[in-house]
Structure 1
Amino acid sequence: MNGAANDSEVDRAIERLRAIYRNWTRDTSVAQMRSDWDAAFAGCSVPVSGRHVSAGGVDGEWIVPADAPHDKAILYFHGGGFRIGSVASHRDLIARIAEASGCRVLAINYRLAPEHRFPAALDDALNAYRYLGDQGLRPSGIAFAGDSAGGNLVLGAMLAARDRGEPLPAAGALMSPWTDLTAAGASYESRAKADPIHQRAMILALARNYLGKDGNPCNPLASPLYADLTGLPPLLVQVGDRETVRDDATGLAARAKAAGADVELQVWDGMIHVFQMFPEIPQAQEAVAGLANFLRNHLHIGREKAPQ
């Protein structure tokens, strides 16, 4: 996407991230990392209601804007490298998507690694999807959305459902999706200096943490970039041009298009990984508005909830 980035706002977002990471050492526990991440992104800036739920045995939360239809839902998978992150850390982003789309969101706390390795998170995603069906929602009234590792789960859950002969949701929205656990994309080199946080060694370490030492990073349900992508519903893929994982998104979009999927790829100039989490960045507001419009269109939700 064209348009000059607001460098000062992006720089402030980067500093927020670095302030978290610089406090971590080799001795910092995973529990402390998760607590720090949740605390750093706690809060919610928009008026939505929240209700805890067990979604097919998976811990989750309904995040509901005013006047949301009861027969539609977005199933959201948070990011965090399958190691950190939660509904708490992503509640503000999820709430902004809910409000802008006029649709309620079921966000889940899928199991994290290293305690629960692949395919535990994927199993939780599928169980939450089936839970929505058990609540009477039709697949045509459900869309998936997720960021980073959550974008991986959007694709993995679609592929697993397809392979099991289960109906697919109406659409999928992906922000900075992590689709290649081998980290083979050229952007890991070309964007290494531009990306303030996500370097290839870190990505590979997260992949090992998720898969275990004997896990296969080319497993198509772990690395959807290597999957047969035929039969997927419409996809919106957003990614920042500064990201080392840029090619995870652009490669996925190209392969999905080649397989016949309806894919819209948006590469945002000057933007960092999951920049949508930072509402102070003007492009984040634009991206969320566009994502919400995509979801409304495919869920056939009225335009009266269009974002301001």
Structure 2
Amino acid sequence: MTGEIKWRDPEIGAVRAFYASLQPPEGSPAQTWAERRAAMDGFGEIGSLPEGTLVVPVDIDGMAAEGLAPQGYDESRQILYLHGGGYVIGSPKSHRPMCARLALEAGCPVLVPDYRMGPENPFPAAVEDGVKAWKHLLDAGIDPARMVIAGDSAGGGLTLATALALRDAGLPQPAGLFCISPWADLRQVGKAYGAVQHLDPMISVAGLDQFAQAYLGGADPGHPHASPALGDFSGIAPILIHVSGAEVLMSDSIAVAEAAGLAGVPVRLEIWPEMLHVWHAWSGQLTAGRKALEGAGAWIREMTS
């Protein structure tokens, strides 16, 4: 289908074609979670890091994590980044290139925890680990007003869920929340799931249902810490959302923006036409990916100044 479409962005067609070439042939046996995790980590390994990036292993009371710091970084500011992967795949390794570029644009370190995932560790383990990582930064003496929590896809939903859990626990909010293509309603509802499914080669209702089942382990998808778009956003930090107009999760982003707006939370929703889900990860090939990270970095600098 994508080959029949003339994209206005001259680069997106090539990236879409390359992504299609990475997919297993039709009729191939379904991959195990271990195989899918290895493949996603492999995607991170083919990317390059900005020159001078420091990569430091971090232990958060038994939870592995990775710190990324650009040249000339401001150690008084920090980003807590929660990686995507449907709450079942993904790791600091898979997201290292994108997080390193975000660190460079924001001019501060990024901490990426290897939080627990399903099906081995179902909901709410990931949320508990998001809170744990935040407490680690607070215990290190970093001012919450100088920090942002960010994440993509399921990590974008986890960013919001962590903020709700912090509010519910009486813990301080960060200066802002940056969400890339957040999966924020595990029920898979909204107009985009039908209207632009033919434009989205990465995300489908069936695929998300599989991830949700593995993550939830029988828990209610309507719980606001599982589907934060259904939560009360009162007292939550300001939010920046990036989403493609050609991905099904646009509906989740719109729902989050509405929930935040109704609660009086400052929210900026940017819908980028034609892009792939989390196109920021393709910044080496997409000018739009680089521009998105530059804009997010500027927003983070402003919020944490």
- Correspondent of 2:244 among 240, 263, 278: 240
Q: Distance in 2 between matches of 1:41 and 1:11?
A: 21
Is the 2:179–2:239 contact (alpha carbons within 8 Å) kept by the matching residues of 1? yes
Q: Distance in 2 between matches of 1:142 and 1:267?
A: 24
- Where structure 2 has 5 or more consecutive residues not aligned to the other structure, the ranges are 1-6
Q: Distance in 2 between matches of 1:141 and 1:87?
A: 22
Secondary structure, counterpart of 1:239 in structure 2: strand
Q: Distance in 1 between matches of 2:18 and 2:124?
A: 31
Is the 2:83–2:95 contact (alpha carbons within 8 Å) kept by the matching residues of 1? yes
Q: Map of 1:1-308 to 2, 5 A cutoff?
A: 5-7=8-10, 9-22=11-24, 25-42=28-45, 43-47=47-51, 48-212=53-217, 214-279=218-283, 280-300=285-305
Q: Distance in 2 between matches of 1:54 and 1:74?
A: 16
Structure 1-normalised TM-score? 0.92
Q: Distance in 1 between matches of 2:22 and 2:143?
A: 41
Q: Distance in 2 between matches of 1:102 and 1:259?
A: 31
Q: Distance in 2 between matches of 1:87 and 1:15?
A: 26
Is the 2:231–2:259 contact (alpha carbons within 8 Å) kept by the matching residues of 1? no
**Deviation at residue 113 of structure 1 after TM alignment:** 1.1
Secondary structure, counterpart of 2:198 in structure 1: coil
Secondary structure, counterpart of 2:49 in structure 1: coil
> For residue 4 of structure 2, what is the aligned residue in structure 1?
none
Q: Deviations over 1:214-243 (max 9, x none)?
A: 211111000001000111111100000000
Is the 2:200–2:248 contact (alpha carbons within 8 Å) kept by the matching residues of 1? yes
Q: Distance in 1 between matches of 2:91 and 2:22?
A: 16
> For residue 306 of structure 1, what is the aligned residue in structure 2?
none
Secondary structure, counterpart of 1:128 in structure 2: helix
Q: Give aligned pairs, total.
A: 295
Secondary structure, counterpart of 1:174 in structure 2: strand
Go from structure 1 to structure 2 and tell me whether the alpha carbon gap of 1:194 and 1:249 turns closer, same or farther (over 3 Å shift): same
The amino acid across from 2:215 in the alignment is: Y
**Deviation at residue 204 of structure 1 after TM alignment:** 1.2
Q: Percent of counterpart pairs with the same letter?
A: 34
Is the 1:237–1:266 contact (alpha carbons within 8 Å) kept by the matching residues of 2? yes
Secondary structure, counterpart of 1:54 in structure 2: strand
Over the aligned positions, Cα root-mean-square deviation in angstroms equals 1.5
Is the 1:56–1:130 contact (alpha carbons within 8 Å) kept by the matching residues of 2? no
**Deviation at residue 36 of structure 1 after TM alignment:** 1.2
Q: Distance in 2 between matches of 1:181 and 1:27?
A: 22
Q: Deviations over 1:167-190 (max 9, x none)?
A: 111111010000000001111011
